[in-house]
Homo-oligomer: A and B are copies of this chain.
Amino acid sequence: MEVRVVHKVLKANEEFAQMVRERLGEAGVVALNLIGAPGSGKTSLIEAALRGLKERLRLGVIEGDPETTRDAERIAHLQAPVVQINTAGGCHLDAHLVYRALEALPLASLDLLLIENVGNLVCPVEFDLGESGRVAVVSVPEGHDKPAKYPKLFRTAQVVVLNKVDLMPFVDFDEGQFRSDLARLLNPGVPLLKVSCRTGEGVGEWVRWLQEVVERGPSSLRR
C-alpha cells in the first residue's frame, strides 16, 4: 500500500522531470543536481564554481533548503541569478519545485544551472529533477564508509567530489577503502575530484570539470 503511494508520487515527479528536461534542452542549459549530507560543502562548491567560471560561462543557481535563505544570500553576493526553494521542512527537492523555480530564472541567457538539493544522502536520490547529471558531494570528516552505507547516490552520480581534503591529517579516513568501495564496487570509472574549498586545493579541477561538461553538452554525461 505504502509502496503504491510512493510510486504514484514518483510517477507525477517523472512527468515534471520530463518537462524540466525539455525546457533546459530548448534553452541549451546543462543542469547539475548537487546531492550531499548537511555540511558537506555544497554551497561552497557552488560559490567556487561561480568565482572560477564567471568570465567564461553564464551560471544560474537553485538553492534547496528546509528552512532559511542563508545559502541563497551567500550566492546572491556573487551576482548570479539564484532562486531559493524553501521546502518547509521537506527532505528533498522534486521536479515540480524545480519546474516552478525555472520560471524565475533567465534560462535563455544561461549555460549552466547548479541545483543544490536539501542536505540528505537518501531521499533526494529517488527524485529525478530533470537534471543533466548528478554530483555526489561527500566530505572527509563524514568518514570513508559513506559510499558503502549510502550506495544509491554513489551508483547514480556522474561525478563524486570528496570535499574538505585539508582535514585528512586530522581524522581517520581510509582513502583506499573509500576508493575501493566507490570505484570498484559501486561506480567503476566515475571521476573522483579531491577538493578543499577552504584552501583552494582541487578547485581548479572542479571548475575545469564543469566547463568541460558544458562544452561537450549534457549527452556526454549519460551513462
Out of B120, B150, B166, name the residue touching A170 (CB < 8 Å): B166
Asked whether B89 lies within 8 Å of A152 as measured between CB atoms, the reply is: yes
Asked if A131 lies at the interface with its beta carbon under 8 angstroms from chain B, I say no
Given A39-B141, A167-B170, A121-B122 contact (CB < 8 Å): no
Minimal beta-carbon separation of A83 from chain B (angstroms): 17
Asked if A202 lies at the interface with its beta carbon under 8 angstroms from chain B, I say no
Asked whether A91 lies within 8 Å of B67 as measured between CB atoms, the reply is: no
How many copies altogether?
2
Asked whether B198 lies within 8 Å of A149 as measured between CB atoms, the reply is: no
Asked if A146 lies at the interface with its beta carbon under 8 angstroms from chain B, I say yes
**Interface magnitude class on chain A:** 35 or more
Question: 19 A–B contact pairs at CB < 8 A?
Answer: A37-B39, A37-B142, A38-B146, A38-B150, A39-B141, A39-B146, A66-B122, A67-B149, A68-B145, A70-B148, A91-B120, A91-B122, A118-B122, A120-B121, A120-B123, A164-B171, A166-B170, A167-B170, A172-B198
